[in-house]
Amino acid sequence: MSRRAVQIATGLALAGTAAAIWTVAHRLRPGAAPMTQAALRAPPAADAFDTPFVPPPPPPKIPQRLPDFVLPDRSGKPTSIATWRDKSLIINFWATWCAPCRREMPLLASIQRRWAAQGVTVVGIAVDHPQAVRAYADELKIPYPLLVGEQDALDVAAAFGVGSPVFPFTVFTDRRGEVVALYVGELHQAQAELILRTVQDLNLQRVALADARRSIAAGLQSLTPQG
């Protein structure tokens, strides 16, 4: 990413919008790129240099607050996201066919164990076939709650401003239900800890929401090599 693009991301943050989080995470994050199901199944290009440049999607219009929605849990029971009211949520969108999604699951499980006492809950949203999700969740013994859906889960992703989902992506909220950050791509420990520390400062009223978003955007930039 060019320095000019970094400056644009920083400017968005200074404007007080969580779209900067999308820009930094989508373009600068370490590790593999987010995956779409179509991309996974597409044949490799004969010559990478002949492949036309495809610009990244525009930043999503991230909601100020956690949208209301209901999805089935892994047993098929309709479950409202309000079940975890007054919790700081890490809402992770994933699919069983997505390799970066699978790689980040041990980290999410570790966060669930280490941060639960501080009022943090991980909620996975699998955009996939229910049978495949149940089999995979049982095999890995995923310790955090899962919600499952197909088109209805895509509708939830759209409610977070992600109309053409790439997987994985993760939404962080504070305990009041304010959306603090939306991170696109495989989540790593340094990024997760940075965001969670800022969310905790927000919960303890040590920082305002706009300042928390700016701090996260700047912190993500500092964790990523500059191009």
pLDDT digits (tens, 9 = 90+) for 168-178: 999 999 999 99
| Model pLDDT for residues 204-215, shown as the tens digit of each residue | 999 999 999 999
Q: Is 133 helix (H, G, I), strand (E, B) or coil?
A: helix
Looking at residues 116-145, what average pLDDT do you find? Answer: 95
134 or 3, which is more confident: 134
pLDDT of residue 17: 42
pLDDT of residue 52: 64
pLDDT of residue 59: 60
pLDDT of residue 23: 41
| Model pLDDT for residues 5-47, shown as the tens digit of each residue | 333 333 333 333 444 454 444 443 444 445 554 444 444 444 4
pLDDT class of 225 with cuts at 50, 70, 90: low
127 DSSP 8-state letter: E
Query: Whole-model pTM above 0.75?
Result: yes
53 DSSP 8-state letter: P
| Model pLDDT for residues 76-118, shown as the tens digit of each residue | 999 999 999 999 999 999 999 999 999 999 999 999 999 999 9
Q: How far apart are CA 119 and CA 137, in angstroms?
A: 23
Domain ranges of the chain: 32-38+62-207
Number of CB atoms found within 10 A of residue 83's CB: 13
Q: Any alpha helices (H) in the chain, and if so which ranges?
A: 3-14, 19-28, 37-41, 99-115, 130-140, 151-159, 189-203, 209-222
pLDDT of residue 53: 63
Asked if the model's pLDDT at residue 58 lies above 90, the reply is no
pLDDT of residue 146: 98
pLDDT of residue 166: 84
Asked if the model's pLDDT at residue 154 lies above 50, the reply is yes
pLDDT of residue 163: 77
Please name the residues in contact with 71: beta carbons below 8 A apart, sequence gap of 6 or more. 78, 79, 125, 147, 148, 149, 152, 153, 156
Q: Is 91 helix (H, G, I), strand (E, B) or coil?
A: strand
pLDDT of residue 209: 94
pLDDT of residue 55: 61
35 DSSP 8-state letter: B
Assign a CATH topology to domain 32-38+62-207: Glutaredoxin (3.40.30)
49 or 197, which is more confident: 197
What the block records as the tokens of 139 is 């095999």
pLDDT of residue 165: 72
pLDDT class of 50 with cuts at 50, 70, 90: low
Contact 207, 121 (CB under 8 A): no
Give me the chain's average pLDDT, please.
81
